[in-house]
Amino acid sequence: MTSSNYKTRINSLLDAVADTNASDKTARQEPAHLIAVGSWSLTYQSHLESFAKAKSLKTNSFSNAQEMLTGVQALVHLPYVPGVLACNVDGDLENALALLKFFNNSHPDAVLKLVFFGSTVDLDSALYLQQQSAGFKSLMPSSAEGVAAFVDQALQASFKHRANLLDSLTSIAKLSSLTAKEMSVMVQVLNGFANKEIASEMGNSSRTIEIHRASIFEKMDVKNAIELSMLLHSALRH
């Protein structure tokens, strides 16, 4: 990654942290959600309701994907809310695919995980749903007990994703403590330049760069340039 790319992406991350507002903080305290989309049999519905109650999940139900797209806009824009959107695609595959496209285009890194169920879906569609979401299960009516287990896997993945996201935000927030000079030095360090090279580029002494480098490591809570690079790369991925 070039120096300019690092600066651009780091500045974007800092802007994201600066834009974190009260609604975001409220979202962090939101309970996990279970959103059921489509027409479910009473047996399936019973398993989902029992699972949600046992896990203290906030539940929402929508008859089809189009209704869900209208009703859940606020939720998907809250980046810290964990949960699972379970969609029954039988009889509504077209809207389910539109739902998947909407999430992948608008919320590719969403904490909310999508899982799809269906017993009458063609193989190509099933593979596509599997690859493009948290998963797809072909369940016959007699296997309704498998719904909760599959949703639970996605829910745990959602919690893990949120934890990683919040860890990244913590790392990013540390950047706010760097001075403009330290930020410039850090970008050069991330690009692999030695103190002497950075000093020559920035018109400072090697000792001055060494002091800036030590301050950067202390503020970012890392021991060396490798740890700094790993920390920032992890944050940039999220």
Per DSSP bridges, beta strands 136-137 and 33-37 are: unpaired
Is the separation of the CB atoms in 13 and 235 below 8 Å?
yes
Residues of the chain with CATH 3.40.50.2300: 31-170
State the Cα–Cα distance between residues 225 and 236, nearest whole angstrom.
16
In the three-class reduction of DSSP (H, G, I as helix; E, B as strand; rest coil), residue 142 is classed as: helix
Which pLDDT belongs to residue 66?
79
Q: What is the pLDDT of residue 170?
A: 74
Q: Which option is the CATH number for 3-20+177-237: 3.30.70.980, 1.10.10.10, 1.10.630.10, 1.10.357.10?
A: 1.10.10.10
Q: Structure tokens of 210?
A: 């060494």
Domain 31-170 coded CATH 3.40.50.2300: yes
Burial 181-211 (b: 16+ CB within 10 A, else e): ebbbbbbbbbeebebeebbeeeebeeebbbe
Q: How far apart are CA 215 and CA 15, in angstroms?
A: 22
Tokens of 2: 């070039």
The span from the CA of 210 to the CA of 159, in Å, is 40
Q: Which residue(s) pair with 88 in the sheet?
A: 117
222-233 as b/e, with b when 16 or more CB fall inside 10 Å?
beebeebeebbe
Burial class (CB in 10 A: 0-12, 13-18, 19+), 9: middle
What are the residue ranges of CATH 1.10.10.10 in the chain? 3-20+177-237
Per-residue pLDDT at 218? 92
pLDDT at 238: 54
**What pLDDT is stored for residue 155 in this prediction?**
94
- For residue 139, the model assigns a pLDDT of 81
> What residues pair up with 136 in beta bridges, in sequence order?
116
Task: For residue 176, give Cα distances in angstroms to 80, 164, 186, 218.
Answer: 21, 19, 13, 13
pTM above 0.85, yes or no: no
In this prediction, residue 200 carries a pLDDT of: 92
Residue indicated by tokens 């690092």: 6
Q: Mean pLDDT per segment of 10 residues, for the chain of length 238 residues?
A: 60 59 60 88 87 92 82 68 90 86 77 90 90 86 82 92 78 80 87 90 92 92 87 67
